[in-house]
């Protein structure tokens, strides 16, 4: 059983998501196996009664017992099936939640790591190939339970049959037939194992091609504007045809393999069934059991030999699945290495949190070039800091370091004379409200989006939406804060424009009421004049909070206490708007004059 160690480990993890599921599945499987054996037993009794002319009343009673028994089996089976399906739904939901919790618990640098992102995609995509992974394991466990219980029931009747045969004595011919039966069952198992291995490999190749087709399909924007403008369907049609050709070739190969290796499996199973018939008919003639026993014991022996073969098939499938389970388990074993800190962040009513970057350098994992170089900057409580620069100059990376989504490669960031790494990580994050340039709103009610919580303060949320300029749109919403955003889950959902979505994101940042508020180019969807108006209004709303405005457009600069100009990962200038404009050779002067038409009258 060493080779199933990965499966056992994965099964313990998976079963813990809902401990009730597998016990309920076991009960259902036991009960479901009663039905065919019950019917075989009763059929044997009815045939014996007819053969021995035991009278109509006796036969009617046996038929009635059969009908009532089948009715009870169906009713109880349906109830068990419903319970198992309910527990499976809970299991699937809990497993998905655990998978997402693991993702959300990872350090941010790991979430951006291409290898880890691909690892997560691999787990999802493995499921597209014969459900490989935990779903394949669950299904195989169910099949194995089915076969094991079937074998257990069949063995009980097999022992009964052997004891009846032994009572009248074994014959030489029966011993030879028993040897032939064991040999045919053994060969059936071996050929089944070979079939599983060879055919499994071939169908895995088909699965990989299907995976390529799925990726190709997801990359094809059927309704997209680009598709219509550039007539991309011709390129995609060519790719689909090439993939379909490879699919057909691989499918044909796999199908031929299946036929080739299934023939001996079928022959040996039929041989074992034939031998079973001969043994049972022989001893029926010799008087070991009544004529109805032929139906009963032949059925049991057929189930026994088929179940043994199927059991080995599913065990082989379990072994094939282990490499996919290992991928799943490895994801849960990814370790976080960012120091979480233990120093409590003071809850200061004066919001006095002074921050200083000291000789900070940063390079993204796996990158050769530094994204930030020799960053030195002080940020005092209540200040307005504008961070400006061209695309790719390091502005967003600067904010990621400030919010401790990453730690500096070299240097340190201090807050109130302590390295920010020493502060409790969760508490440190709580002092920031950020509207990132790639922010997201959820397909949930507006109130949930503003509060970023399950409940909200209606008066506060409505006031903030009004202050950020969303008031006119809000009045039109029929359900106010209960209005669902987007139509993903609700036909009454409301679609909002890019500018309106940005205003909701701004309201969300203000609702958190954190000491630091950071806007990382959140107004990119607005025209420059509207952007300037938003920033001017937002500056009034921020009050005594420390605010950082990041943009490659300069509408936020005039009312800021300090401007940091980034260029190629370095801070090349620091000063006020007026001071920086005095330097006609400086980067800020160049940027301002390139955009001045938008901000001067």
State which H helix or E strand residue 550 sits in.
Answer: strand 546-551
Phi-psi region of 261 (alpha: psi -120 to 50; beta: other; left: phi over 0): alpha
More confident of the two residues 256 and 450: 450
Average pLDDT over residues 346-366: 81
Whether the predicted pLDDT of 314 surpasses 70: yes
**Which residues lie below 8 Å from residue 460, measured CB to CB, with a gap of 6+?**
511
DSSP collapsed to 3 states, 330-394: HHHCCCCCCCCCCECCCCCCCCCCCEEEEEEEECCCCCCCCCEEEEEEEECCCCEEEEEECCCCC
Within 10 Å of residue 406's Cβ, how many Cβ atoms?
21
Within 10 Å of residue 129's Cβ, how many Cβ atoms?
20
Please check whether residue 314 is in contact with residue 144, taking contact to mean a CB–CB distance below 8 angstroms: yes
What does pLDDT average to over the chain? 80
Q: At 408, is the secondary structure helix, strand, or coil?
A: coil
CA angle 479, 484, 485 (to 5 degrees): 125
Average pLDDT over residues 562-577: 88
Whether the predicted pLDDT of 20 surpasses 90: yes
Instruction: Render pLDDT for 48-103 as a digit per residue (tens, 0 to 9).
Output: 777 777 777 788 888 888 888 888 888 888 888 899 999 999 999 999 899 889 98
pLDDT score of 229:
72
pLDDT score of 200:
66
Strand order in the sheet with 546-551: 432-435, 516-520, 546-551, 384-389, 562-567, 570-575
Whether the predicted pLDDT of 129 surpasses 60: yes
- Partners of residue 548 on adjacent β-strands: 385, 518
Average pLDDT over residues 95-119: 86
Whether the predicted pLDDT of 141 surpasses 70: yes
Please check whether residue 441 is in contact with residue 484, taking contact to mean a CB–CB distance below 8 angstroms: no
pLDDT above 70 covers a percentage of the chain that reads 85
Instruction: Render pLDDT for 488-506 as a digit per residue (tens, 0 to 9).
Output: 777 778 888 777 888 888 8
Most confident of 239-243, 291-295, 372-376, 596-600: 372-376
Single out the residue of 275, 271, 206 nearest to residue 243, CA to CA: 206
Q: Which CATH superfamily is domain 355-441+496-599 in?
A: P-loop containing nucleotide triphosphate hydrolases (3.40.50.300)
Please check whether residue 384 is in contact with residue 545, taking contact to mean a CB–CB distance below 8 angstroms: no
Give the Cα separation of 352 and 345 in Å (integer): 11
Residue that has been written with the tokens 């990132």 in this structure: 436
Domain 355-441+496-599 in the same topology as domain 2-332: no
Instruction: Render pLDDT for 505-538 as a digit per residue (tens, 0 to 9).
Output: 888 888 888 888 888 876 665 666 666 666 667 7
**CATH of region 2-332:** 1.20.1560.10
Instruction: Render pLDDT for 408-435 as a digit per residue (tens, 0 to 9).
Output: 999 999 988 889 999 998 888 888 888 8
pLDDT score of 597:
60
Instruction: Render pLDDT for 212-262 as a digit per residue (tens, 0 to 9).
Output: 666 666 655 555 667 677 776 777 777 777 777 777 777 777 777 777 767
Strand order in the sheet with 355-362: 372-379, 355-362, 410-415, 418-419
pLDDT score of 18:
92
State which H helix or E strand residue 256 sits in.
Answer: helix 233-285
Query: Sign of dihedral through CA atoms 332, 337, 343, 346?
Result: negative
Give the Cα separation of 117 and 162 in Å (integer): 59
Q: At 229, is the secondary structure helix, strand, or coil?
A: helix
pLDDT score of 361:
93
Single out the residue of 41, 284, 269 nearest to residue 168, CA to CA: 284
Give the Cα separation of 501 and 517 in Å (integer): 18
Q: How confident is the model at residue 19 (pLDDT cuts 50, 70, 90)?
A: very high
Task: Please give the DSSP secondary-structure letter assigned to residue 195.
Answer: H
Whether the predicted pLDDT of 440 surpasses 60: yes
Whether the predicted pLDDT of 104 surpasses 90: no
Q: How confident is the model at residue 205 (pLDDT cuts 50, 70, 90)?
A: low
Give the Cα separation of 329 and 11 in Å (integer): 10
- Partners of residue 494 on adjacent β-strands: 485
Q: Where are the domains of the chain?
A: 2-332, 355-441+496-599
Single out the residue of 552, 566, 570 nearest to residue 370, CA to CA: 570
């Amino acid at each position: 059983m060493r080779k199933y160690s990965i499966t056992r480990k994965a099964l313990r993890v998976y079963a813990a998501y809902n401990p009730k599921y597998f016990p309920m599945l076991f009960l259902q499987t036991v009960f479901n196996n009663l039905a065919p054996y019950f019917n075989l037993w009763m059929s044997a009794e009815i045939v014996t009664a007819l053969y021995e002319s035991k009278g109509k009343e006796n036969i009617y009673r046996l038929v009635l017992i059969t009908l009532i028994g089948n009715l009870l089996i169906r009713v109880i089976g349906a109830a068990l099936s419903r319970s198992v399906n309910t527990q499976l739904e809970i299991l699937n939901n809990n497993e998905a939640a655990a998978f997402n919790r693991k993702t959300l618990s990872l350090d941010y640098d790991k979430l951006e790591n291409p290898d880890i992102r691909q690892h997560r995609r691999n787990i999802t995509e493995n499921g597209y190939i014969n459900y490989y992974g935990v779903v394949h394991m669950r299904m195989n466990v169910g099949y194995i339970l089915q076969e094991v219980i079937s074998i257990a029931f069949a063995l009980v009747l097999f022992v009964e049959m052997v004891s009846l045969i032994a009572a009248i004595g074994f014959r030489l011919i029966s011993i030879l037939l028993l040897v032939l039966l064991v040999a045919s069952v053994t060969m059936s198992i071996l050929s089944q194992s070979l079939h599983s291995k060879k055919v499994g490999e071939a169908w895995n190749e088909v699965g990989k091609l299907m995976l390529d087709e799925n990726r190709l399909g997801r990359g094809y924007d059927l309704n997209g504007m680009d598709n219509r403008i550039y007539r991309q369907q011709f390129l995609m049609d060519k790719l689909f045809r090439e993939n379909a050709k490879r699919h057909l070739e691989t499918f044909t190969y796999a199908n031929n393999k299946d036929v080739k290796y299934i023939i001996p499996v079928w022959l040996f199973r039929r041989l074992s069934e034939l031998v079973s018939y001969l043994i049972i008919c022989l001893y029926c003639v010799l008087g070991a059991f009544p004529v109805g026993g032929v139906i009963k014991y032949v059925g049991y022996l057929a189930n026994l030999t088929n179940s043994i073969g199927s059991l080995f098939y599913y065990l082989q499938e379990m072994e094939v699945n282990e490499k996919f389970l290992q991928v799943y388990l490895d994801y849960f074993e990814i370790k976080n290495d960012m120091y979480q800190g233990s120093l409590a962040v003071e809850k200061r009513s004066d919001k006095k949190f002074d921050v200083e970057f000291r000789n900070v350098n940063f390079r993204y994992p796996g990158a050769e070039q530094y994204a930030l170089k020799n960053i030195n900057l002080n940020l005092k409580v209540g200040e307005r800091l504008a961070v400006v620069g061209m695309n790719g100059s390091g502005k967003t990376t600067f904010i990621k370091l400030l919010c401790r989504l990453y730690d500096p490669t070299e240097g340190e960031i201090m807050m109130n004379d302590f390295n920010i790494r020493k502060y409790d990580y969760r508490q440190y994050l709580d002092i920031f409200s950020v509207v990132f340039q790639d922010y997201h709103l959820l397909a949930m009610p507006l109130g949930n989006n503003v509060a970023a919580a399950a409940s909200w303060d209606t008066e506060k949320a409505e006031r903030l939406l009004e202050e950020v300029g969303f008031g006119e749109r809000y009045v039109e919403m029929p359900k106010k804060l209960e209005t669902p955003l987007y139509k993903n889950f609700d036909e009454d959902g409301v679609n909002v424009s890019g500018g309106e979505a940005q205003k909701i994101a701004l309201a969300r940042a203000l609702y958190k009421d954190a000491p630091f508020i950071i806007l990382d180019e959140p107004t990119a969807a607005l025209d420059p004049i509207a952007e300037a108006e938003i920033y001017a209004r937002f500056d009034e709303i921020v009050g005594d909070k420390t605010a950082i405005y990041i943009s490659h457009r300069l509408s936020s600069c005039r009312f800021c206490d300090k401007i940091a100009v980034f260029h190629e990962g370095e801070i090349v200038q620091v000063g006020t708007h007026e001071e920086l404009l005095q330097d006609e050779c400086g980067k800020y002067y160049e940027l301002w004059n390139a955009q001045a038409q938008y901000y001067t009258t």
